[in-house]
């Protein structure tokens, strides 16, 4: 009996139909942490860290496909009618003729071309929403952080940018939060509810965090790169982030063809590289810490690693002798 159950459960798990035991799904009320230490839950819960399309524009997708199916049925009907004896063509339903075979084949071909052209155009203008979470580096980020926060030391900023070929229009923003001592998440909440929840956790607004009010209709233009960092979604200190087991931002936006996309930003402290923050603890620019430049910029370090082993060892010995 146990062998039969395992034989059914294992393929379902491999196919993604049934999750393995012990792994929570979507932070629901029946989720359970796999390991707990002093009521601290270390389970990482992410819906999907990749951008995905959650809804297509029905007018541009369903209508051409439905018309193509209808044209295909017409072609099949005409093929069947041409193989029916002539005596039956005067009887119902064989005397029904909507389009001849040539016209039906032409309409079907045109609709197939329309569907594939729409798919190709959607891929061409598809926005690619990216994001980064890191310390305050540029002067613009430092000015924004200093305006909204009383202390920008140990501060991390979440930047959102669009690196795709088409523009994006923000449709909705929601947040999901849970303390390290909480087993269940808050569910997806809006901006006002987020501030109320964090305030109940003892995190004063402007003291350790700031969350930008991103309203529906906000355009995210195409062609922006990582260096532009044109949209600041959130600023939070590492002390506040350590207290949170779950801090996710769900962005939903539409593209030029009307498709609805979704991207979940998992702002988790355990995803942050601690070495990336060396030299910027006080909020000063990395240029003021020459000893940290290989960590911050990586130019000298990459050049050193790219050298042959013998030359690299000789250079290290010469640096030591000096």
Query: Residue 8 is encoded by which pair of tokens?
Result: 């059914």
Q: Are both 84 and 187 inside the same structural domain?
A: no
Q: Are both 182 and 230 inside the same structural domain?
A: yes
Q: Are both 70 and 201 inside the same structural domain?
A: no
Measured CA distances, 17 to 9, 11, 46, 293 (Å): 9, 9, 17, 48
Q: Are both 172 and 272 inside the same structural domain?
A: yes
Read off the pLDDT of residues 183-234 as tens digits, 9 standing for 90 and up. 788 889 999 999 898 888 888 776 778 888 888 999 888 865 555 556 888 8
Of 261, 277, 293, the one marking the end of a domain is 277
Q: 244 lies in a domain?
A: yes
Q: Are both 132 and 120 inside the same structural domain?
A: no
Query: Residue 299 is encoded by which pair of tokens?
Result: 């130019």
Strand partners, 209: 205, 236
pTM of the model: 0.62
Cα(50)–Cα(68) distance, rounded to whole angstroms?
A: 32
Read off the pLDDT of residues 89-147 as tens digits, 9 standing for 90 and up. 777 888 788 788 888 888 899 999 988 998 899 888 999 988 888 777 666 666 666 55
Burial class (CB in 10 A: 0-12, 13-18, 19+), 192: exposed
Quickly count: other Cβ atoms within 10 Å of residue 113's Cβ: 12
Q: Are both 44 and 152 inside the same structural domain?
A: yes
Q: Are both 143 and 201 inside the same structural domain?
A: yes
Q: Are both 136 and 261 inside the same structural domain?
A: yes
Q: Which domain holds residue 243?
A: 32-51+128-277
pLDDT tier at 85 (50, 70, 90 boundaries)? confident
């Amino acid at each position: 009996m146990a062998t039969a159950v395992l034989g059914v459960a294992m393929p379902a798990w491999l196919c993604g139909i049934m999750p393995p035991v012990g792994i929570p799904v979507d932070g629901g009320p029946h989720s359970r942490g796999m390991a707990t230490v002093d009521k601290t839950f270390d389970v990482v819960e992410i819906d999907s860290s990749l951008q995905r399309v959650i809804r297509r524009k029905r007018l541009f997708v369903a209508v051409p496909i439905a018309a193509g199916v209808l044209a295909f049925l017409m072609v099949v009907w005409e093929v069947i009618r041409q193989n029916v004896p002539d005596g039956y063509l005067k009887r119902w339903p064989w005397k029904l003729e909507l389009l001849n075979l040539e016209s039906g084949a032409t309409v079907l071909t045109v609709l197939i071309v329309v569907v594939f052209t729409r798919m190709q155009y959607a891929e061409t203008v598809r926005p690619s929403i990216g994001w980064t979470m890191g310390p305050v580096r540029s002067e613009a980020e430092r000015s924004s952080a200093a305006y909204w926060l009383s202390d920008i030391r140990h501060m991390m900023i979440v930047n959102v940018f669009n690196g795709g070929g088409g523009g994006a229009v923000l449709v909705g923003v929601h947040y999901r939060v849970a303390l390290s001592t909480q087993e269940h998440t808050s569910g997806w909440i809006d901006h006002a509810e987020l501030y109320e929840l964090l305030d109940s956790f003892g995190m004063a607004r402007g003291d350790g965090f700031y969350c930008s009010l991103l309203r529906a209709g906000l355009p995210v233009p195409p062609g922006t790169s990582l260096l532009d960092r044109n949209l600041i979604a959130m600023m939070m200190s590492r002390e506040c982030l350590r207290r949170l087991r779950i801090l996710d931002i769900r962005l939903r936006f539409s593209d030029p063809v009307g498709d609805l996309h979704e991207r979940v930003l998992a702002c988790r402290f355990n995803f942050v590289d601690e070495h990336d923050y060396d030299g910027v603890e006080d909020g000063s620019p990395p240029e003021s810490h020459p000893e940290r430049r290989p960590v911050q910029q990586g130019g000298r370090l990459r050049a050193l690693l790219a050298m042959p082993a013998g030359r690299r060892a000789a250079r290290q010995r010469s640096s030591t002798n000096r």
